[in-house]
Structure 1
Amino acid sequence: MPGPRDLDPSSSPRALLGAELRHAREKAGLSQEELGQRLFVSGSFIGQLEAGTRRMQREYARLLDEALGTEDFFQRHCGAAAKSRYPEHFAEAVEAEAEATEIRQYAPLLISGLLQTPAYARAVFRAYRPTAPAEVIEELVAARMDRAALLDDPTGPLLWTVLDEAALRRRTGGREVMAEALRHVAGLVRRNRVIVQVLPFGAGAHASMEGSMKLMDFEDAPPLLYFEGVGTGRLEDDPTTVRYQRRTFQLLTACALSPADSLALIEDIAQDYGHEEHH
């Protein structure tokens, strides 16, 4: 049975690396759980590596080469699979996002990335990096818009977002930018491309007051959970944690306005911003 072969750089490195990992594991006669035990990770983590929903870090590549007898194959190729235009703490989440069949997220303070317009994203990045050169900001905006292109594909993932009312009321970039941003969100809803609910101020205390969350489900891999903070991020695959946060999201949707009422509020606030700008 042939061993792992060098990867074609013109193909998707992450997908091919995952396929080669599955090949090498099966050749060694190991289950995902058994291989995971040798790396001190879960079997679901191995499954995510094989499915290409998680990137292979160098420390795991070394351990895989040792456990599977593949010399330095995975160490040599994990670098190509890890190249990204996104910050290290976020890159793996973006890659998983592109493979997901369903995405559920709560955004407490800003319109979530997949729903942003260029002007809104530009205002966000400028606030994050007030002294960055303009070309750096534009590169970040372009990367974010490339992510948002995921929604241009009608067969793309189901996106269900709960936006806190604070994200709608905070004047990010000014009234004109906010009016455009909210009309964009409303347009996606009216085209039946996304489900958006607004968690109103009147809901009071709720289940996710400590921060944002993103749940991602996949066709052939276990679900992932992404937490994000200022300059940091973490992917989590622990089934208990994922199950708990899935229930948290359900509680948020129960407290939020209905999709129809949420759309009406978004369009009303967009109209208010537009009138203020006109006057």
Structure 2
Amino acid sequence: MDAVAFQPRELTPELSPRHFYGSEIRRYREMNGNMSLDSLASIVKFSKGYLSRIEGGISKPPPNLSELLDKAFLTDGHFGRLYPLAAREQFPDRWRQFMELAEVAVLHEEYTVTIPGLLQTFEVASRVLRAGQPFAADEEIGDWLDTRMRRQDRLNRAQPEARYWFILDEGAIRRPIGGPQVMAAQLQRLLDVSRLAHVTVQVLPYSSGEHSEMGGSLSLLTQPDGEVIAYEESSREGYLFDDPDEVKVRRAFYDLLRAQAASPRDSCAMIEAVLKEFNDAVRQGGRSVAEE
């Protein structure tokens, strides 16, 4: 897998205290002989990727970074004074940040109670988006749909840049979104994707019982520098976690889900069985699997 070339993030210091804090890091780097992020990383003992996300306003600065920056730049407590404002702010525009992180991730792991957006057919995606925003204008739904479909390009590339591991709740393959014909096409899409060498699909069966993520979804995004970002989402809210201790807990949650899920081979067999039920329903005049 080819390494991803590093590109400086576009800065938007006017957006929030966190973004301003990050822009000040770049400003002082440039004032100090255009110091590179690599050089700064070796001084403050944080990874280049982590500093890049802090500089871009994506990640919250850790408590001990400000003192190290003030020492590196000789800024007499400047970053120490900015830190309380930057640390108090919650992640702004979380979904945009999640997509930016996902676009460069080298390993994308995800658990969902529905079909993951990266695996949805056009028909299922349009119905899911409309159901989630029933009062949105058609133009808005169309824009979101275009964005969702474009995000799938990276997964489908001939030269994969990442590995993907999806765990789907059994309800995701049984809920008849759009009716039997639409779901039959969706399940065939799951089977096709599961055969790709860089994609693994598992189903978490109802028989597994209760688990930690029954209320929503969980994603783990491994960045090119090896750091992992966690993202949890409910039906209306999402939260990004980059603190190593918080991420460690969510890694443990995901590993438990992986252990509870059916094996990839058995998962494909489950999907094939439900696909047959939907195809039978189409032949019988459209009765859904839920009505069987």
Normalising by the smaller structure, the TM-score range is 0.7 to 0.9
Stretches of structure 1 that go unaligned for 5 or more consecutive residues are 1-10, 37-42, 71-86
Structure 2 residue matching 1:119: 3-state secondary structure: helix
Structure 2 residue matching 1:161: 3-state secondary structure: strand
Structure 1 residue 23, shift from structure 2 partner: 8.5
The question of whether the paired residues in 2 share the 8 Å contact of 1:215 and 1:224 is answered with: yes
Structure 1 residue 166, shift from structure 2 partner: 1.0
**Counterpart code for 2:256:** L
Q: Which one has a bigger Cα radius of gyration? A: 2
1:56 aligns with 2:57: yes
The question of whether the paired residues in 1 share the 8 Å contact of 2:26 and 2:55 is answered with: no
1:265-276 matches, within 5 Å, as 265-276=270-281
Tell me what 2:240 maps to.
235
Tell me what 1:148 maps to.
152
The question of whether the paired residues in 2 share the 8 Å contact of 1:175 and 1:276 is answered with: yes
TM-score for both structures, normalised by structure 1: 0.73
Tell me what 1:205 maps to.
210
- Aligned residue among 115, 118, 124 for 1:114: 118
Tell me what 2:290 maps to.
none
1:69-116 superposed Cα distances (whole Å, 9 cap, x missing partner) = 99xxxxxxxxxxxxxxxx9330000000011000111112x1111111
Tell me what 1:40 maps to.
none
**Counterpart code for 2:130:** R
1:182 aligns with 2:187: yes
**Counterpart code for 2:188:** R
Hey, which bits of structure 1, 4+ residues long, moved more than 3 A?
A: 15-23, 25-36, 52-55, 66-70
Structure 1 residue 259, shift from structure 2 partner: 0.2
**Percent same amino acid among aligned pairs?**
33
| Pair 26,197 (structure 1): closer, same or farther in 2 beyond 3 Å | farther
Q: CA RMSD in A?
A: 3.6
Structure 1 residue 176, shift from structure 2 partner: 1.5
TM-score for both structures, normalised by structure 2: 0.70
Tell me what 2:82 maps to.
none
